[in-house]
Structure 1
Amino acid sequence: MKAHVYRRNGEPTEVLGFEDIAAPAPPGPNEVTVRITKRMVHPLDDLMVRGYIPAPIPAEGTVPGGDGVGVVEQVGAGVDPATGIKPGQRVMLFPASGTWSERVVAPAMAVIPVPDDVSDTTACQIAINGITAIVLMRAALAASGGAPLLVTAAGSGVGHNLIALAQMHDAKAIALVRSDAGAAILAPSVPGVAVVSSEHDGWAAKVTATGGQAPAVAIDPIGGEMSAQLLNVLADGGTLLTYGGLDPRPSAISTIPLTVRQLTLRGLNAYGWLASTPVQRASDIADLFELARRAPQNFAEYREFVFTQATEALAAAHATPRRGATILTSET
């Protein structure tokens, strides 16, 4: 079967190949074989191919991709029929390994049936991005005390989902983007939400003025120089939730303001969601599909690339300003 593979880190156009690899073995107990139809291309994928996020590369190479949407082809022994997982069922995968291939074998707990009223394109976008947003929003609401939430990289898929989840929970969100152009693109899609650009000096004061008070929580995937700036924007006792490092440079953070102002810096990711109880995960998935129904505009703008165009898709996913999701599709 065909897959994208890299055996060393570097520029994607130089290290990422499209080649034949062995098809997966039949699914074992509590496993499912899925034919992948669509998968999101994330900025994180680009960072991993380049080696900015260290990860061992096995001798046979690494196939990127940790989420996707597809159709069940085979079901291993022990998979509970009550889950709805059966051959022919459309499903969402998270977490999965190597979804930039035609087929994968995944644990049954990572296979989520997709309702008939949710398209493959939408389900593809809410797999990891939606679960990441759910994890972040739960932590943000617990720490906010009703004060505004500052969402950075608000034009991203996770950013859009965070804003929609805040609205579902009647929480006030302020959207922060890195450029005036990004703000102009984002504002029409988030009516009622203040959008602030950090392109110019004075953006921090504008955030506080917009919210009527300093935000209690900032949610950020950028890191680097932005981390210290966001800590300065927070109210005393505030929390910075970080879920990525789009700026790979180290963050220069002094522990003095952290101590004096009793600030909290906390890292979270979607994989931590797997430690939730089965009841909590089921509730979260229901919320995500409800979010898809309530905020279809979050998933309406995207670019699709055919399966052979992985390097072009990586470049598009890393470009700014953001213009919706980037999707690598196996469908013709």
Structure 2
Amino acid sequence: MKAVVCKAWGLPDSLVVEQVAAPVAGPGQVLLDVKAAGVNFPDVLIIQGKYQFKPELPFTPGSELSGVVSALGEGVTNVKLGDRVIAFTAQGAFAQQIVVPAQAVMPMPPGMDFDTAAAITLTYGTSHHAVVDRAALKAGETMLVLGAAGGVGLAAIEIGKALGARVIAAASTDDKLAVCREHGADATINYSNEDLREAIKAATDGKGPDVIYDPVGGIYAEPAFRSIGWRGRYLVVGFANGDIPKLPLNLTLLKGASLMGVFWGEFAKREPKANMAAMRELMGWLAEGKIRPRISGRYALEQTAQALNDMAARKVTGKVVIVPDA
């Protein structure tokens, strides 16, 4: 089978696509024919050795996918051959086939397409864990989303609206902000040509947001945190800007505010029942039309480097997917 292989830490163009041995399902595992694999910003960091964990070289990147069950290992009873499923894994999704633990797969809802199924676990799982579990956003509260046109950003907007909150989207271009409005944002801020603190003040009548969702970090973190409302909750989701900010901790004291870390992968591993409950709620919202993943691009396996370069250059709105058989 064909797979993307990372043989040395480096930028996306160092990846290769080559024939590798087809995987075999062992006890408690399932073999999936990959139909689509979601591309996420952590993939850009993992291949450079800059993420929270480092796989052993060589490895195939990619952590979320949709596919069809093509073989069952001994003892597997929760799925059957031919089932259309969604899976989340540590690595290996950018390939024609993958073996995953049986407990890592869930059935695709009827009528869902493979692209959408491959785009929901990490982004919506992360944002649900952040907004619902960590921040406990309530109806009537206000949430500011930085980097709002990306995958987790759009997911956060939709989840905030599903909960009945007012959502302010901040992004770097007017085109990206138009996408945010399409997905429910009540107000928008272009932080490339507006003073972020002044814009937040104007958008919240000087009260500041109750929750700030930050997957960007860098230069935007401190002005955003200085603008947070009393008892505000600041969600540290990631650092797409490239720099990890250093916040003056006296700001938490002055605002009675909380800094909250968000690491969905670890949450899913440590609290699998809570994660599955969140996924069920997300699937319900999807069926009701409250969330609708935006797929802005499809790439063949041989175009994986380009997909990751586009992600790194912040050219992506919503999600893009790798389609191994395209």
TM-score when normalising by structure 2: 0.90
Match 1:52 to one of 47, 50, 54: 50
| TM-superposition CA deviations, 1:129-156 (whole Å, max 9, x none) | 1111210121355266853111111111
Query: In structure 2, what residue type is equivalent to 1:19?
Result: E
Match 1:75 to one of 54, 69, 72: 72
The answer to whether structure 1 residue 237 and structure 2 residue 231 are counterparts is: yes
- 1:2 corresponds in structure 2 to 2
- 1:19 corresponds in structure 2 to 18
Distance 1:69 1:209, change over 3 A: same
**Unpaired runs of 5+ in structure 2?**
none
- The 3-state SS of whatever aligns with 2:238 is coil
In structure 1, what is the Cα distance between the partners aligned to 2:37 and 2:307? Answer: 11
> How many residue pairs align between the two structures?
324
Query: In structure 1, what residue type is equivalent to 2:228?
Result: L
The answer to whether structure 1 residue 38 and structure 2 residue 36 are counterparts is: yes
CA contact (8 A) 1:6 1:62 kept: yes
- The percentage of counterpart residues that share the same residue type is 23
Task: Let me know the Cα RMSD of the aligned residues.
Answer: 2.3
CA contact (8 A) 1:122 1:292 kept: no
Summarize the alignment of residues 208-247 of structure 1 with structure 2, pairs less than 5 Å apart: 208-212=201-205, 213-247=207-241
CA contact (8 A) 1:151 1:159 kept: yes
Question: How far has the Cα of 1:250 moved from its partner?
Answer: 3.1
In structure 2, what is the Cα distance between the partners aligned to 1:96 and 1:141? Answer: 26
In structure 2, what is the Cα distance between the partners aligned to 1:21 and 1:296? Answer: 41
In structure 1, what is the Cα distance between the partners aligned to 2:255 and 2:39? Answer: 38
In structure 2, what is the Cα distance between the partners aligned to 1:160 and 1:198? Answer: 17
- 1:204 corresponds in structure 2 to 197
Question: How far has the Cα of 1:258 moved from its partner?
Answer: 2.5
In structure 1, what is the Cα distance between the partners aligned to 2:157 and 2:197? Answer: 19
In structure 2, what is the Cα distance between the partners aligned to 1:141 and 1:267? Answer: 10
Question: How far has the Cα of 1:281 moved from its partner?
Answer: 3.6
TM-score when normalising by structure 1: 0.89
- 1:267 corresponds in structure 2 to 261
Higher mean C-alpha deviation, range 144-153 or range 166-175 = 144-153
Query: In structure 2, what residue type is equivalent to 1:239?
Result: R
In structure 1, what is the Cα distance between the partners aligned to 2:92 and 2:62? Answer: 5
CA contact (8 A) 1:66 1:98 kept: yes
- The 3-state SS of whatever aligns with 1:161 is helix
- The 3-state SS of whatever aligns with 1:218 is strand
- 1:100 corresponds in structure 2 to 94
